[in-house]
């Protein structure tokens, strides 16, 4: 197995690992107000998130940024709760938050999630001489995993609204509320003080 495939697989496995379900929850929250027809907007949103976490992942792996892990583990569910709150507020106003603001929030929240990814990646990299190829492959694997999760959520949402006839607003409310509740419990469990 070549090195790119090894690190790509590691990134893909990390995002799909149920032990790290907080990242999956964040993706569910991002998908909360989108329909299958909106896949392009959602692709840009997920890519903004990836750019954010790729930046801080690199800065952390190269020891440019050092952050207390307890704070990062606390801030990750905060980002999920805030994303769900934005989704729910948009439902009340009958229109989702402007895409530009959603992209900015996803990029910023990606910065926080990247620091969460970095603790695992640093331990896996060990004494690698050249960090750029494994870091690149890991990020590509993370992005591929995220896109698979998003595609699955969009397809399940389409089935729910098309064949089961669940209203789009009800689906959005249920998904955002459920993810909000789970993330809020995580937030309380991870209080850093």
Report pLDDT for 104. 93
Query: What is the separation of C-alpha 109 from the centre of its chain, rounded to a whole number of angstroms?
Result: 8
The DSSP result for 121-162, as a single string, is HHHHHTT-S--HHHHHHHHHHHHHHHHHHHHHHHHHHHHHHH
Q: What are the contacts of 188-192 at 24+ separation with CB within 8 A?
A: 190/70, 190/73, 190/74, 190/76, 190/77, 191/74, 192/68, 192/70, 192/71, 192/73, 192/74
Report pLDDT for 92. 67
CA quadruple 142, 138, 112, 124: dihedral sign? positive
Report pLDDT for 147. 93
Query: What is the Cα–Cα distance from 85 to 123, expressed in whole angstroms?
Result: 34
Which tens digits make up the pLDDT trace of 69-126?
A: 999 999 999 999 999 999 998 876 655 556 778 899 999 999 999 998 887 787 777 7
pLDDT-above-90 percentage for the chain: 63
Neighbours of 122 (CB within 10 A): 14
Report pLDDT for 116. 87
Neighbours of 31 (CB within 10 A): 26
Neighbours of 79 (CB within 10 A): 25
Query: What is the Cα–Cα distance from 124 to 121, expressed in whole angstroms?
Result: 5
Give pTM, 2 decimals.
0.91
Report pLDDT for 96. 52
Are 85 and 29 in contact by the 8 Å Cβ rule? The answer is no
Q: Taking Cα atoms as reference points, which of 178, 29, 174, 24 lies closest to residue 102?
A: 29
């Amino acid at each position: 197995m070549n090195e790119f495939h090894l690190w790509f697989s590691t990134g893909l496995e990390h995002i799909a690992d149920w032990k790290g379900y907080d990242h999956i929850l964040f993706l569910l929250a991002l998908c909360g107000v989108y329909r299958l027809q909106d896949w392009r907007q959602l692709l840009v949103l997920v890519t903004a998130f990836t750019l954010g976490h790729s930046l801080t992942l690199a800065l952390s792996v190269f020891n440019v940024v050092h952050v207390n892990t307890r704070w990062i583990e606390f801030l990750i569910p905060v980002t999920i709760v805030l994303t769900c709150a934005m989704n729910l507020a948009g439902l009340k106003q009958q229109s989702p938050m402007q895409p530009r603001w959603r992209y900015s929030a996803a990029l910023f929240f990606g910065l926080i999630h990247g620091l969460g990814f970095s603790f695992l990646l640093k331990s896996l990299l060990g004494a690698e001489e050249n960090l750029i190829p494994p870091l690149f492959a890991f990020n590509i694997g993370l992005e591929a995993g995220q896109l698979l999760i998003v595609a699955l959520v969009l397809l399940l949402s389409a089935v729910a609204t098309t064949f089961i006839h669940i209203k789009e607003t009800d689906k959005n409310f249920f998904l955002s509320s459920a993810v909000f509740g789970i993330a809020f419990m995580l937030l309380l469990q991870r209080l850093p003080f």
